[in-house]
Amino acid sequence: MLKLFSLASLLTVVWLARIPGGSAGTYSLTNNVVGSDFYNFFNWQAQPDPTHGRVEYVDQATGRSLNLTYASGDTFVLRTESRSILNPAGPGRPSVRIRSKKTFTTHVAVFDLRHMPQGCGTWPAIWETEDDNWPNDGEIDILEGVNDQGPNAATLHTLPGCTMPAERVQTGINGQLDCDWTVNGNTGCGVRMTDPTSYGPPFNQNGGGWYVVERTTQFIKVWFWSRNNPSVPVDIKNRGVQVNTDSYGTPAAHFPNTQCDLERFFKRHFIIINLTLCGDWAGSVYGNSGCPGTCVEFVDNNPQAFREAYFDFAGIRVYE
């Protein structure tokens, strides 16, 4: 009897710990996207680039035939074309934009990346939003930058009424505190990471690493660990079937709900990965980034400059 009783209480304790809210930071793997799984988890968006980049987003079949996406074992590569000189009057350089079929609210997503696009003119992004209803449902930019200019910034964009406090427990540096997309040309509320290996060539020289986003109704947090960072949590490194973010330490970026009703401003989001060239952001700051000539001419005439313009994913894992 005694033994049975102890087992029962032990089970109760274990069970309680798994109730949402009982242990806030525990999540279970719901999507393990590795290698060719990317072809099923995502839709290919062959549409004009809304940010006016010098790219032509192609469909899945075209992308595969041009080897712009390539899956093998635990590798999924997504790149822009790097062989052809473009006709200045014709379409942009073929590239790829993918959007998850599924949407997510409360979740943890782990982006395990060996390489990210680099080079003058590149503007890669890993982000979450409902782009068919943008900006009403909010936007979370996890990895985004232009022209190799690091470190990474994680940024939210919302309707008016969502701001971030100046004092937050995070390792990154605050940019604008107002997330309202109508302020300063949709700058958003960004946090610049301090780790130089979080973006571009230094990211790639270190074998990439792990980007992790946690979204709850209380906060949105983003962490980054470079490939050889000894502090990477064991459950991330070992591709666990559960993760517990309570052990992850101070995030690079922390967006609390204290001045922003996250449930109101953030709805169901797709995971989107796009790689554009030039366009509204990369094009406008191109000259200030130490890049040669003008952005569109550079893209048109220098295919070899885009050989490193690719993502190499070791996997994406989503936990809910």
The 3-class secondary structure across 79-103, one letter per residue, is ECCCCCCCCCCCCCEEECEEEECCC
Number of amino acids touching ligand NAG (CB under 6 A): 12
Q: Do 116 and 203 meet the contact criterion of CB atoms below 8 Å apart?
A: yes
Among 111, 226, 276, 306, binds ligand NAG (CB under 6 A): 276
Q: How large is the greatest C-alpha to C-alpha distance in the chain, in angstroms?
A: 83
Sheet containing strand 270-277, strands side by side: 42-44, 97-100, 270-277, 122-129, 139-144, 153-157, 189-192, 173-174
Q: Residues 121 to 140: which contact ligand NAG by CB under 6 A? A: 123-125, 131
Nearer to ligand NAG, 60 or 216 (CB): 60
Supply the minimum distance, in Å, between the C-beta of residue 34 and ligand NAG: 15
Amino acid type, 303: P
Q: Does 219 participate in binding ligand NAG (rule CB under 6 A)?
A: no
Nearer to ligand NAG, 204 or 216 (CB): 204
Supply the minimum distance, in Å, between the C-beta of residue 186 and ligand NAG: 8
What is d(CA 320, CA 315) in angstroms, rounded to the nearest whole number?
Answer: 17
- Residues in contact with 211: Cβ distance below 8 Å, sequence separation at least 6, in sequence order: 110, 111, 113, 126, 142, 143, 222, 223, 224
Integer-rounded Cα radius of gyration of the chain: 20
Among 50, 88, 161, 165, binds ligand NAG (CB under 6 A): 50
Nearer to ligand NAG, 54 or 107 (CB): 54
Coil vs helix vs strand at 278: coil
Supply the minimum distance, in Å, between the C-beta of residue 25 and ligand NAG: 30
Among 33, 77, 86, 271, binds ligand NAG (CB under 6 A): 77
Q: Does 278 participate in binding ligand NAG (rule CB under 6 A)?
A: no
Nearer to ligand NAG, 122 or 226 (CB): 122
What is d(CA 219, CA 162) in angstroms, rounded to the nearest whole number?
Answer: 13
Nearer to ligand NAG, 18 or 83 (CB): 83
Q: Does 147 participate in binding ligand NAG (rule CB under 6 A)?
A: no
Q: Do you find a cis peptide bond into 151, omega within 30 degrees of 0? A: yes
Site string for ligand NAG, 158-187 (x = CB under 6 A): ------------------------------
Q: Residue 81 catalytic?
A: no
Tokens read off for 159: 């309707």
What is d(CA 242, CA 130) in angstroms, rounded to the nearest whole number?
Answer: 26
Catalytic residue among 81, 128, 144, 308: 144
Catalytic residue among 139, 167, 263, 308: 139
Among 51, 174, 176, 187, binds ligand NAG (CB under 6 A): 51
Strand partners, 100: 42
Q: Residue 139 catalytic?
A: yes
Nearer to ligand NAG, 6 or 67 (CB): 67
**Where do contacts with ligand NAG occur on this chain (CB under 6 A)?**
50-51, 53, 67, 70, 77, 123-125, 131, 274, 276
Which residues are marked as active site?
139, 144
